[in-house]
Amino acid sequence: MSDISVQTGASLGAVWFSIVFVNTALAAALGRSRLGYFIFSIFLAPVVSLVLAIAGRKED
């Protein structure tokens, strides 16, 4: 495997997990389950970002 592909994979992984942690923090700020959104974000990070943006704050 070339050094370029390893660096690209590492960069994409770092970006993906950054999105996961941002989604987790956003879910907490909106009153939603941090653990649930963390697990969901690991697999579908961009989709979860869209869901959180549309769903908004949880009503009590």
22-60 residue pLDDT tens: 889 988 988 888 998 899 888 887 887 777 778 777 666
- Does residue 60 lie in a domain region? no
Q: Are 37 and 24 in contact (CB under 8 A)?
A: yes
Q: State the pLDDT at residue 1.
A: 57
- Does residue 7 lie in a domain region? yes
- How is residue 31 annotated by DSSP? T
Task: Identify the domain containing residue 26 by its residue range.
Answer: 3-55
- Does residue 13 lie in a domain region? yes
Token couple for 23: 């989604």
- Does residue 18 lie in a domain region? yes
Local confidence band at 7 (pLDDT 50, 70, 90 cut-offs): confident
- Does residue 49 lie in a domain region? yes
The total number of structural domains that make up the chain:
1
Q: State the pLDDT at residue 35.
A: 92
Q: Are 45 and 37 in contact (CB under 8 A)?
A: no
- Does residue 37 lie in a domain region? yes
Q: What is this structure's pTM? A: 0.70
